[in-house]
Amino acid sequence: MKLSPVEKGRINLIEYTKYVDNLRSNGKKFPINQFGDANLSQIASACGFKRQVFGKKTRMGKQLEKDIQEIGTEIDNPKLDTISSSNRLDEYSKRLNILTKELNVLKAENLSLKKQLMTLENVQMLSDEKEASFEHMLQTGRRFVL
């Protein structure tokens, strides 16, 4: 017996509602795919229909979006993720230490260069003074040294 689209839609909704209720009652979340999004194919097969039923503009699609926001999606392989996160944290911490050391070295270098610049500026002033003094000597024949 061939079902009408309206009948099919009603059955799909019932199956989907059952699936969502099951998730809620067991404290489970929607499965995810390799990209971290809700796995539509898996949900659809669990409900006994095709993934196209969850089209974006369809009623079922909108309902799914609402339910995902409410129930959430599960984290794939949580144990592994925790391990990788802690490793990543260690790596970041090490990197941060290295960068902090480098920054301190550069700061010290910068300060010493600024001091050198100040000294050179004083040398420049002395050189300007010598030049002015020499100019005075050429004009007057009198040597001025302070």
- Stretch 125-144: interaction string toward other proteins, x if CB under 8 A: xx-xx--xx--xxx-xxxxx
Q: Of the two residues 87 and 110, which places its CB atom closer to other proteins in the complex?
A: 110
Assess contact for 38 and 10: CB atoms under 8 A: no
Least distance between other proteins and beta carbon 123 (Å): 11
Least distance between other proteins and beta carbon 141 (Å): 4
Least distance between other proteins and beta carbon 109 (Å): 13
Restricting to residues 99-118, which ones interact with other proteins according to CB under 8 A? 111, 114-115, 118
Q: Of the two residues 97 and 110, which places its CB atom closer to other proteins in the complex?
A: 110
How many binding residues for other proteins (CB under 8 A)? 21
Distances (CA, A) of 7 to 15, 20, 34, 41, 52: 12, 20, 34, 22, 17
Q: Dihedral of CA 36/42/46/50: which sign? A: positive
Q: Of the two residues 97 and 104, which places its CB atom closer to other proteins in the complex?
A: 104
Q: 144: helix, coil or strand? A: coil
Written as one letter, the residue type at 10 is: R
Distances (CA, A) of 12 to 5, 87, 122: 10, 44, 87
Residue ranges in contact with other proteins by CB under 8 A: 111, 114-115, 118, 122, 125-126, 128-129, 132-133, 136-138, 140-146
